[in-house]
Amino acid sequence: MNIAIAYPAWFIILCVLGGVLYAAVLYYREKKSEIPDKLKIFLAVMRFLAVSAIAFLLLSPFVKSLFDVSEKPVIILAQDNSGSIVTGKDSVFYSDQYPEALQNLKDELQENFKLNVYTFGEKVVRLQSNSELSGAIDFDEKQTNISSLFQEVRNLYSNRNVGAMILASDGIYNTGANPVYYSRDLGFPVYTLALGDTSIKKDVVLTKVNFNRLAYLNNDFPVEVIINADKYKGEETLLKIYKKGKLIKTQDLEIVTDPYTTTVNLRFKADETGIHRYRFVIEPLEGEISAVNNVKDIFIEVLDSRNKVLILYNTPHPDITALKEAIRTNRNYEVEDHPAKSFNLPVEMYNLVILHQLPSLENPVDHIFGEIRGKQIPFLLIIGQQSNLVELNSMKLGLNILSQGRTFQEVLPAPERNFALFRIKEENIRVLNNFPPLFAPFGDYQVSGIVNILMNQRIGTMTTSKPLIFFNETLNDRWGVITGEGLWRWRLMNFAQMQNHNAFDELILKTVQYLSVREKKTQFRIYHKDHLFENQRLVFDAEVYNKSYELVTEPEVEMTITDSDGNQFPFVFSKYLDAYHLDAGSFQVGEYRTMAKVKVGNDIFTVRGQFIISPLDIETINTIADHNLLYLISKGTNGKTYRAEEMDELIDAINSREDIKTVFYTQKRFEELINIPLVLIVIIGLLSLEWMLRKRAGSY
């Protein structure tokens, strides 16, 4: 242990001299007092020590100490909490007896190790160290993602003294990547407890229903039903299809092989707009292990028409594919792409036209652009190295680019926080900030009129006032401009960072939606998903405008959700920045109607809508435990696989490992001297004792 200061060491001499000077001046005045000389010297010394100590504390001294630390090995116990565990014949054992056996395993391991317990399914949850497992394990998770468990463990326990991990699972995963690959670099052994039943059971499974969620009025739409059966060769059953609770079709099924797989192709007529529920049911056969997987519900939304988007390009470019893939994630849009030089269709067929690097020197597209403006078709311009900037400047877009020659530079996106035309999720904005650069013209950008800038150009760390993405509109026209090419890099980077395209797709879809929808301005808007699964939360966003079309949050927004049985659920939106937000939680499978209302001044506005909740029954499709997967995980990490009844052997294996041991290391600790109570007590004691003795001697 030693003491250090944040200033040069010679400052200590000043502290000592300050204490000497203060004591000398104070007691020099006491020449004529009746205080004895010895006492006066004693008092001066106490004052010297107190003042010097206070001055020393002003130098921000701190104590540096070294101490030994011991860290017990950590054992990670992860329990699969998904529904597939209890779908077999041993469901009673896993519901009643198994949690108690696992609790005993937990108690024994806690005696010698630091034990951290997790459950996992569609999400990973850490349990409190003193929690009872019987209350935390209910096997109700709708999905199983083992790879996410390994990712969580790797992030939390890097460079920790982890002795081993115990993975209790049936080896069935239905979302995420192959967990074998994610377990290889953990750095500690994984012992697996093999749960579930590996035997093939008598069962008929309605494995999957393939369908398009959107259909269009008066069109036929296909539905593909995939059915599997085990140990029912020679039996017959019946597939029934219901719509709105009424039987509309039946299909005979003859099981001719073992195992048996068949695909039933059906077609239905979209004869009514709205959301329609179809239920597919296979009549159970005698001796089936479970009838839950004999039923599936699907929801089809029938629309009057589909919005059509046209992409015209000067030459083929990877941006075109990126745009098409993003737009096609919303089934409300149909996308076509054509080279401008050979396009001869009427543009009034389309709700939005995207012009990629047009007009160019080779393709001025005067006639196409004149038709777009004449028919008042919304458009989106993407400027690139092939664009004719002189022609663009003459199109009165609200932007003039004064460039010397045809010079381009790399520019990064800088999202504008005050953009109000539409909203992009906060987590996606953070992703957008890390996107790679686009290639934009180098020069002066002159913005005229009232434009709405979604993103500015950022060069290095400096955000400029040059727009990267902006929107403009007149009484009859609406358009957007992206001043750089290379959007395909954004989509690739989005996947590299997040393993999805959500940020890029939302940016493009919101842009397309804003430009293509020519809606009448309303003072009350509601935004929400119209299709969710039963494990997803229902979230609404709302915007309220005054008569000047400015966002306001003073009124209260109420919503009532009504299910198919007429039950009503009232909610009130909370205010968030300049808008409203509602997290209504999770709802059961079914069809729901919504009615939201708000009072702005003397006017009451009402918005009606609907949404559907689909079942997520993926855990009932595959009920055969995959113990081979667990074996591969253990083998690849120098662990071993045990059955549920071999927990005692598992404990012995962990206790006998010589590499699972307590780690000792030295740790440095820094603490400011002023924070040590004893130092303050000594200083106060010196000053208090000096004052008492001075008073007792008759001095002031």
What CATH number is attached to the domain comprising 640?
3.40.50.410
Q: Return the pLDDT at 31.
A: 58
Q: Return the pLDDT at 637.
A: 92
* Spatial distance between the Cα atoms of 299 and 533, rounded to a whole number of angstroms: 11
| The two structure tokens encoding residue 623 | 């009920």
Do 360 and 504 sit in the same domain of this protein? Answer: yes
User: Which residues in the chain come in under a pLDDT of 70?
Assistant: 1, 29-34, 305, 475, 518-521, 698-700
Q: Return the pLDDT at 482.
A: 97
Q: What is the pLDDT of residues 136-186, one digit of tens each?
A: 888 888 889 999 999 999 999 988 889 999 999 998 898 888 899 988 888
| The two structure tokens encoding residue 596 | 């939201």
Q: Looking at the domain assignment, is residue 234 inside a domain?
A: yes
Check which CATH number belongs to the domain holding 426 and give it: 3.40.50.880
To 10 degrees, what angle do helices 647-655 and 98-112 make?
Answer: 10
| The two structure tokens encoding residue 187 | 């750095």
What type of residue is 197? Answer: D
Q: Looking at the domain assignment, is residue 619 inside a domain?
A: no
Q: In terms of DSSP bridges, do strands 641-643 and 603-614 run parallel, antiparallel, or are they unpaired?
A: unpaired
Reduced to 3 states (helix: H, G, I; strand: E, B; else coil), residue 39 is: helix
Task: Give the DSSP letter of residue 72.
Answer: P
Q: Report whether 617 contacts 609 (CB < 8 A).
A: no
Q: Which of 307, 448, 447, 312 is nearest to 379 (CA)?
A: 312
Q: Report whether 229 contacts 213 (CB < 8 A).
A: no
Do 292 and 343 sit in the same domain of this protein? Answer: no
Do 559 and 505 sit in the same domain of this protein? Answer: no
Q: Return the pLDDT at 573.
A: 96
Do 532 and 678 sit in the same domain of this protein? Answer: no
CA dihedral 518, 520, 526, 530 (to 10 degrees): -40
Do 123 and 270 sit in the same domain of this protein? Answer: no
Q: Return the pLDDT at 69.
A: 78
**Which of 447, 481, 516 is the last residue before a domain boundary?**
516
- Domain containing 123: what range? 73-197+624-661
Do 316 and 342 sit in the same domain of this protein? Answer: yes
Q: Return the pLDDT at 34.
A: 66
Q: Looking at the domain assignment, is residue 375 inside a domain?
A: yes
**Which of 549, 582, 614 is the last residue before a domain boundary?**
614
**Which of 257, 283, 303 is the last residue before a domain boundary?**
303
Q: Return the pLDDT at 578.
A: 85
* Spatial distance between the Cα atoms of 623 and 195, rounded to a whole number of angstroms: 11
Do 105 and 186 sit in the same domain of this protein? Answer: yes
Q: Report whether 76 contacts 39 (CB < 8 A).
A: no
Distance of CA 175 to the CA centre of its chain: 16
Q: How many CA atoms lie within 13 A of 689 on its CB side?
A: 16
Q: Looking at the domain assignment, is residue 472 inside a domain?
A: yes
Task: Give the DSSP letter of residue 465.
Answer: E
| The two structure tokens encoding residue 301 | 């939304």
Q: In terms of DSSP bridges, do strands 352-356 and 307-313 run parallel, antiparallel, or are they unpaired?
A: parallel
Q: Looking at the domain assignment, is residue 581 inside a domain?
A: yes
Do 376 and 488 sit in the same domain of this protein? Answer: yes
Do 540 and 483 sit in the same domain of this protein? Answer: no
Do 311 and 299 sit in the same domain of this protein? Answer: no
* Spatial distance between the Cα atoms of 96 and 300, rounded to a whole number of angstroms: 40
| The two structure tokens encoding residue 128 | 């409190």
Q: Looking at the domain assignment, is residue 129 inside a domain?
A: yes
Q: Where are the alpha helices (DSSP H) in 255-332?
A: 318-327
Q: Looking at the domain assignment, is residue 242 inside a domain?
A: yes
Number of structural domains (the chain) is 5
Check which CATH number belongs to the domain holding 252 and give it: 2.60.40.10
Do 313 and 298 sit in the same domain of this protein? Answer: no
* Spatial distance between the Cα atoms of 653 and 673, rounded to a whole number of angstroms: 49
| The two structure tokens encoding residue 407 | 């010079």
Do 630 and 593 sit in the same domain of this protein? Answer: no
Q: Return the pLDDT at 641.
A: 94
Distance of CA 427 to the CA centre of its chain: 7
Check which CATH number belongs to the domain holding 577 and give it: 2.60.40.1220
Q: What is the pLDDT of residues 106-127, one digit of tens each?
A: 989 988 899 999 999 888 999 8
